[in-house]
Structure 1
Amino acid sequence: MSTEGRFILALSLMFLVIWGTNKLFPPIFEEVPGTPADSSLLVGDTAAEQEEVAPAALSDLGAADPASAAAGDSAAPAPAQRPPARTIVVESPNYRFEFNSRGAALESAELLGYAALNGRDGAVQLLPEGVVSLSKSLVVGSDTLSLGDLDFSVEPADGLSLGEGSGPQTLTFTHAAAGFAVTLRYTFRPDDYLVDVAADVQGVDRPLMMTGLGRGLAFNEADSAQEARVMAWVGNHLNRGVRSTEMRKVERPELHDGPWQWAGVKSKYFVMAVLPGAETSEDGPYLGGVTTEPGLDEMRPQVSVTQAVATDGSLAYRLYLGPQEYSRLQALGADMEEVNPYGWKWLRPLIRPFVAITLWVLNFLHDNLNVGYGWVLVIFGVLMRVLLWPLNQKAMRAQMRNMAVQPMVKEIQTKYKDNPEKQQKEMMRLYKEYGFNPLAGCLPMLLPWPVLIALFFVFQNTIELRGVPFYWLPDLSAKDPFYILPLVLAVSMFFLQFISFRSMPEAGKNPQMKMMMYFMPPFFGFIFMQFPSGLNLYYATANLATIPQQMLIARERKAAARRGPVKLDRSKGKGDPANSKG
C-alpha cells in the first residue's frame, strides 16, 4: 500500500473512532474547442504558412556545416579538421553547470546547496548519468535540423565563475556556416536558479525551436521507489490548467498542443522547467507545444518544448533548474508553485489555506526562535494543543452531558417508538433542558484534522524539511529508521484511551469500547511507520501534550457520573454537570 493509501486509511479510522465513541458514549477551465492535435498548431501557424516562410530546407542548412557534408561527394572540398568538444563550466555558490561546446547542450547540473541522500557522495545532480538536456532542434514544416552535432564557439571560452554578490553574467554559444547562423545566450545570476535565454537564428525564416529537457531528472532521495512514483513531466496549459503525468505512463509518442504557460520535468523536490521570456513577444508570453516520447527505460521518456522564432530570428525564454522552493516558484508567477501541488486535486481548495498557514508558522518559528525544524515541530505540536484546549474541553464536557442523559434518550426512544412525532418533540425538550446534542462532542475534535492532513503533504513536498536531522532521525521527511516515534505515538494513544476508558462507568460493560482501546493504537502505530518522521514527531508530541487535559477531564467525568444529569438554568447560566458542585 502506498504512503497516500495508508494516510487515507488512517484518516478513515480516526473518523470511525471519533464517530464510534460518540455513538456509543453516548451521542447518537474550459478547454478551447476545436483545437486539433497537430504539430502545425504548436505555435499557432498553419503548415502552409510555414512552407511559405521557409526558403530553404533545413537539411540543406545542415549540409552547409563541414561536419555534415556528404562524405561521398567528390565535388565537395575536403572538410576542415573539427575542433575537439570542450566542457564549459558555469559555477556559483549555489550550482555548477557543465555545457558541451558541441551542440551547446547541458551535460551536468549540480545543486551545491543540497546533498544527495541516495548514498552517492556529493551534491544533488539533476541529470541522470549519460543524459544531456537543453539540446536544440529547428523545425520548419516536415524538415528538422538537430543542433546537437554542430560545433559552437564559446564566449568567454573558460566559462563563468559567479562569486557571491556579483551581478549577472552571460555565456554565449555561436555557430556560423554558409548562409546559416545560430547564437544562444545564457544569463546566470549567482543567487538564483533562474536562467535567461536569448536565441538568434539567421538563414531560416520563422522556424520552431525545440528545446529538449532530456529524459527526466536523476534520483537523489533515499527512497527511490517513492521518488519514482512522483517523477513526472508537468506543465500549466493556458486553458486546461496545471497537469502532471508520471514518466512511467508515457507509453507512445504524443504531441500536447499549446499554449503552455510553463512546462518541465520534476522529481520529488527538484524541477527543470521552461518558461516564456519576461518580455511579451508578438506570439504572446506562452510556449508552443510539448512533445513526449517513450525511451528504453520506462522512467526515461524524452520531453521537449517548442517555441516560435520571431520574424527577425529572435527568441527569448527562461529556464528554472533548482529546488521546488515554494517562495521561489511563486515569485515566477503563472501558478508555478503548483509544479508539485499539495494534496489530491479534489482536496486542494480546502488544503491550500491550511498548508500556507502551516508553512508560515513553521518558517516563522524556525527563523525567529533560531531552532531546528525538529524542535519547531515539538513546539508546534504543543501550541496546537494549547490553542485547541478550550475546544477539546467543550467537546469532552459535551460528551459528559450526553452520557448523563443517555438513559433518558433510550427511555424516550423506547416509549415513543411508534410515535416518531412525539419522540422528536420529547428529544427537543431534552435538548433544551439538559443541553443534549449528539454532535457537540464530535465536531470540535475534528478541527485538528485539516492541520494533520496539511502537515502530511507538507512533509511529502516541502524541500526545507528535506534531509533535516533531529537526534536519531537522519531526515524529518523520511520515515523513522528505528520506528521509535511510531511506538511512542501508539503508546500515547493507548494511554489517552485508557484514561478515558477508566473514567466511563459504562465503558467496562461495552466490549466494542474495550476492543477499540487495545486494537486501534497498535494499528495506528503500524500505519504511521512508513510516514515521514516529522509527521510522527508532531503527532506524538500533540498526544503527549493532551494527556494532562485528558486526566482533568477524566476527573470531571467521574464527578459528573456521581451527580447524575443536571438541568440547564438558562436564566442564571448554570446547569453544566462539569461546573456543578453537586
Structure 2
Amino acid sequence: MDRNTFTGLFLIMVVIGAWVFFMKPNEAELKKEREVQRIDSLKRAGVAAPLDTTKTTALASAVVADSAALKGPFGANITGTVETTVLENEKLKLTLTNKGGKILSVQVKGEQTYKGEPIVLFDGDQNKFGLDLNIGGKMVSTNDLYFTATKSAGSIRMRASYSANQFIEYVYDLKPNTSQVGFGINLNGLNQVVQGRNINLIWETTLLEQEKSAKKEQEHAAPYYKYAGKNPDHLSVAKDGKEDLKEGKVEWISFKQQFFSAALIADQGFERGELEVKVSTTPGQIKWYGANMVLPFNQLAAQSYGMTFYFGTNKFSTLQAQGHELEKQVDMGYWPLKYINRFVVLPVFKFLESFGWNYGLIILLLTIMLKVAMSPLTYKSYLSMAKMRILKPEMDEIKAKVGEDNPTLLQQEYLKLYKQVGVNPLGGCLPMLLQLPFVMAFFFFFPNLFELRGESFLWMKDLSTYDDFIKFGFTIPFIGDHLSLMCVLMTISTLIYTYFNNQISGATGQMKYIGYIMPIIFLGVLNSYPSGLNYYYFLANMLTFAQQFLIKSMVDDEKIHRTLQENKAKPAEQKKKSRFSAKLDDYMRQQQQAQIQQKKNKD
C-alpha cells in the first residue's frame, strides 16, 4: 500500500466517523422513537394508547395565545377539551366527539372481523366530517371547532355558537333497532355572516381492514354515488381516482367496502360534488375516501338540511330495505349476468336459506336445481357431440380422399355430409353457450354474497374467502402464499371432466389439449377466490359427470349410427330442410360460384 492509497483510505474513515457522530439521533429523537414503539406494543396488546398530554397542552397553549383568533369567527369554540358521547341501539354503537361535532367511530354490532374483533367502519382522526364556511373571506372548517353536546333519549345535539343567536347545530337521531342515523344541520342567523350561495360538506375517512384478504377487499371497495333518476355508479376499484359529480342533483354517496357500507342520503340532494379514492399501502387500511359535496345556501335566517346515514352490512335484502336503490352497490355482474343473479339465483338462494340449513348444503341444492333446469340443454349437447363422434370415421375418409391441401373443398365435403345425415355441427356448442351465462353469473354472485361471510362448511372456516389449507410462508408467482384445497379439488375435477368430454366429442389435435390448459390457469386465478365459489364449481363438475353417465346409459350409439345412415339414404326431397340446412345450401352455392369465378379469372 503506497502513501496515496493510505491517505485516501484514512480520509474516507474520517468522513464516515464524522458522519456517524454528527448524524446520530439526539436524546429527544430517541425518546420519541421509544414512545412510538411503546404505543405500538400497547396497540398490539389491545390496550388503548394514552394521550400525549404534553403535546396537547402545548397545542392548547398556542391556541390560547392567539388572541386574534379568539376574537374572530366562532372564537369561543376554537379551544376546548375533547369529550366523547356514545349513542347506541341494538345494531350500532356511535361514538361522537365534541371536536368537530362529528361521529368519531362506528361499530356495527353483531359482526366481527376475520380476526374476531368488533367491526369498526372508521375511527379517530382519520375520519373528518363537517362544513366549510366562507366567513368574511376566510374559510372556517367546523372540524376545528369545539361543539357543546346535549344528549337526550336517542339523540345528540352538537352546537357551535357564533354569537348568542347565531350558531351551527348538528342533530344525530338513532332510533331503536335500525342501521339508519338521522342527521340534521341547522344554521341559525348565519345569513348575516356566511358569504356565497353554497356551502361545502366535507367527508373524509380511511377504511379499516375487516376481511382475510386485504387485496380482495380492495378489489370490492369503491365510493358509490347516485344521481336523482339514474342508476348508481362508482369510481375505480383498482386505482386512485377522482370524479366531478356535476350531471345533476346527487341523491346519495356511499363509502363502500366489500361487505359493509357507510352511506349519506340527502333529503333534497346535493347540488353537485366531488368524490375521490386512494388505494392505501398502510397495513390494516384498505382505501382512503374523500367527498366534497355542495349544499345550497339561500341566505335564510334559519337554514336546515335533512340527511340520513346508513351504517351496516352489504346484505342485498338489508340494503334494499333502506330504499334509494342502495342494493345496487352489490356487484351482481354486468348485463345479462346481473339479471340472472338478481331475478333467478338470488330468489332461489333466499328460498333455500329460509329452511335454516347449512350454507354448504344450500349451495349443493342450488347447484342441483340449476343442473336439473339445464338438463335438456345438456342432453342436446351430449347427443350432438355423440353424432359428431360417430361421423368421425366418414370424415377421416373424406379427408384422406380430398387431402389437406385443399381446405375449401374439404369443408364443402364436410358440409355436404352434415346435410346428408341431418347433423348440425354447432349443435353441441349452442347448448353449452346458453349455459355459460349462468356459470359466469356465479363468478360475481358468491364473492359479493354477505350471507356466506363467516359461515363454515367441512374444513372451510369461511365460505366468503379462500381456505388456505396449505400456507407456504412465502409468495409463489401466479399461486400466492397459500394453496386452497377446494380450488385444487375443483381443478382436478375440471381436468377429469375435460378428459371425458374429449372422449365424448372425439376432439383431436390442438382442441384436445386446450381444454387441459384452462383448468391450470383457473387454479392460479381462483386460488384466492372464495371457497364457496370453488365449492360450487366442484359440485357442478361432479353433477355433470353424473348427468353424462345417466345420458350415456340412455343413448345408443348404434341406433344413432343407423338413424344417420337412414337419413343419408333418403332422397333429398324427403328430407325436412332446417334453418341450418338452408344456410348450408346458401354457403355451398356461394363457394361453388366463387370457385367458378376464380377459374374464369385464371383462364
Establish whether TM, by shorter chain, passes 0.5: yes
- Offset, 1:332: 4.3
Alignment-derived partner of residue 67 in structure 2: 71
Q: Which residue of 1 aligns with 2:485?
A: 484
Q: Out of 190, 200, 203, which is 1:213 matched to? A: 203
One of 390, 393, 399 as aligned partner of 1:404: 390
Distance, in Å, in 2 between the alignment partners of 1:503 and 1:73 is 84
Tell me the distance in 2 between the aligned counterparts of 1:80 and 1:91: 27
1:146 match: 141
Give secondary structure in 2 for the equivalent of 1:467. coil
| 1:377 and 2:375 are equivalent in the alignment | no
Write the distance in 2 (CA, Å) between the matches of 1:244 and 1:74: 42
d(CA) in 2 for partners of 1:350 and 1:452? 12
Bigger radius of gyration: 2
Matched, 1:84 2:74: no
* CA separation of 1:74 and 1:291: change in aligned 2, threshold 3 A: closer
The 5 Å alignment of 1:333-482 reads 333-343=323-333, 348-356=334-342, 357-367=344-354, 369-408=355-394, 430-431=417-418, 433-482=420-469
C-alpha distance in 2 between matches for 1:74 and 1:532:
56
Change (3 A) 1:69 1:489: same
CA distance in 1, matches of 2:347, 2:411: 50
3-state SS of the aligned residue for 2:178?
Answer: coil
Cα separation, partners in 2 of 1:68 and 1:271, compared to 1, 3 Å: farther
Question: Equivalent residue of 2:204, what SS?
Answer: coil
What is the 5 A alignment of 1:48-447?
A: 70-71=66-67, 84-117=81-114, 119=115, 121-128=116-123, 130-139=125-134, 143-156=138-151, 169-178=154-163, 179-205=165-191, 208-238=198-228, 242-246=232-236, 249-250=239-240, 256-257=245-246, 259-277=249-267, 280=268, 285-290=269-274, 292=276, 299-300=287-288, 302-310=290-298, 311=300, 312-343=302-333, 348-356=334-342, 357-367=344-354, 369-408=355-394, 430-431=417-418, 433-447=420-434
Residues 412, 128 of structure 1: alpha-carbon distance in 2 compared, 3 angstrom cutoff:
farther
Structure 2 counterpart of 1:459, one-letter code? F
Counterpart-to-counterpart distance in 2, 1:412 and 1:240? 59
Q: Distance in 2 between matches of 1:337 and 1:263?
A: 13
Q: CA deviation at 1:537?
A: 0.9
For 2:490 and 2:418, how far apart are their aligned partners in 1? 37
Cα distance between partner residues in 2 of 1:176 and 1:419: 87
Distance 1:558 1:212, change over 3 A: same
2:15 maps to what in 1?
none
Q: What residue identity is the alignment partner of 2:139?
A: T
Considering Cα pairs closer than 8 Å and 6+ residues apart, tell me whether 1 or 2 has the greater RCO: 1
- RMSD, matched Cα: 3.9
Unaligned stretches of 5+ in structure 1? 1-66, 161-168, 574-582
Change (3 A) 1:217 1:211: farther
CA–CA distance in 1 between the matches of 2:277 and 2:494?
Answer: 50
In structure 2, do the counterparts of structure 1 residues 328 and 209 end up closer, same or farther at CA, with 3 Å as the change threshold?
Answer: farther
**How far apart are the structure 1 equivalents of 2:124 and 2:533?**
33
Q: Deviations over 1:30-72 (max 9, x none)?
A: xxxxxxxxxxxxxxxxxxxxxxxxxxxxxxxxxxxxx889516
Give 1:547's aligned residue.
545
**1:193–1:563 Cα change, 3 Å:** same
Deviates further, 518-527 or 458-467: 518-527
Question: Is the contact between residue 499 and residue 554 of structure 1 (CA under 8 Å) also seen in structure 2?
Answer: no
Distance 1:480 1:293 in 2: 30
Match of 2:21 in 1: none
CA distance in 1, matches of 2:277, 2:381: 56
Percent of aligned pairs with the same residue? 23
User: Which ranges of structure 2 fall in alignment gaps of 5 or more residues?
Assistant: 1-62, 470-483, 577-603
Contact 1:308–1:315 (Cα < 8 Å) also in 2: no
Q: Cα distance 1:173–1:448, how it changes in 2: closer, same or farther (>3 A)?
A: same
TM-score by length of 2: 0.69
Q: What secondary structure is seen at the aligned counterpart in 2 of 1:370?
A: coil
- Letter of the 1:204 counterpart: L
1:523-571 per-position Cα deviation (integer Å, ceiling 9, x unaligned): 5444432221111111111211122222244454654587583334899
**Secondary structure at 1:182's aligned position in 2?**
strand
Task: Give 1 or 2: higher helix fraction.
Answer: 2
Q: What secondary structure does 2:460 align onto?
A: coil
Query: How far did residue 460 of structure 1 move?
Result: 2.3
Deviation at 1:294, TM superposition (A): 7.0
CA distance in 2, matches of 1:97, 1:198: 16
Structure 2 counterpart SS, 1:191: coil
Checking the alignment, whether the CA contact within 8 Å between 2:316 and 2:330 is kept in structure 1 is: no
* Distance change in 2, residues 1:316/1:73 (3 Å): closer
Q: Call closer, same or farther: CA 1:514–1:245 in 2, change over 3 Å.
A: closer
Q: 1:489 to 1:563 in 2, by over 3 A?
A: farther
**Which residue identity does 1:201 align to in structure 2?**
L
CA distance in 1, matches of 2:316, 2:64: 45
Distance 2:104 2:458 in 1: 38
- Mapped pair 1:567 → 2:569: no
Q: Deviations over 1:301-360 (max 9, x none)?
A: 5333232245331111222222222233334444432334333xxxx2211211112111
Report the TM-score, using the length of structure 1 for normalisation.
0.71
SS of the residue corresponding to residue 110 of structure 2 reads strand
Letter in structure 1 aligned against 2:311: L
Deviation at residue 398 of structure 1 after TM alignment? 1.2
Deviations 1:188-241 (A, max 9, x none): 233322222222102222764433322232211111122234433221235985
Does the Cα contact within 8 Å between 2:382 and 2:504 map onto a contact in 1? no
Separation in 2, partners of 1:539, 1:420: 40
Whether the 8 Å CA contact 1:433–1:567 is kept in 2: the answer is no
Amino acid at match of 1:175: A
Q: Which amino acid aligns with 1:308?
A: P
| Distance in 1 between residues matched to 2:272 and 2:352, nearest whole Å | 43
CA change 1:421–1:515 in 2 (3 A) is: closer
Higher strand residue share: 2
Across the two proteins, how many residue pairs are aligned to each other?
A: 478
Deviates more, 1:139-148 or 1:470-479: 139-148
- Residues 104 and 68 of structure 1, relative CA distance in 2, 3 Å threshold: farther
Q: CA 1:229/1:429 → structure 2, altered by over 3 Å: closer, same or farther?
A: closer
SS of equivalent residue, structure 2 residue 126 = coil
1:484 aligned partner, one-letter code: L
SS at match of 2:173: strand
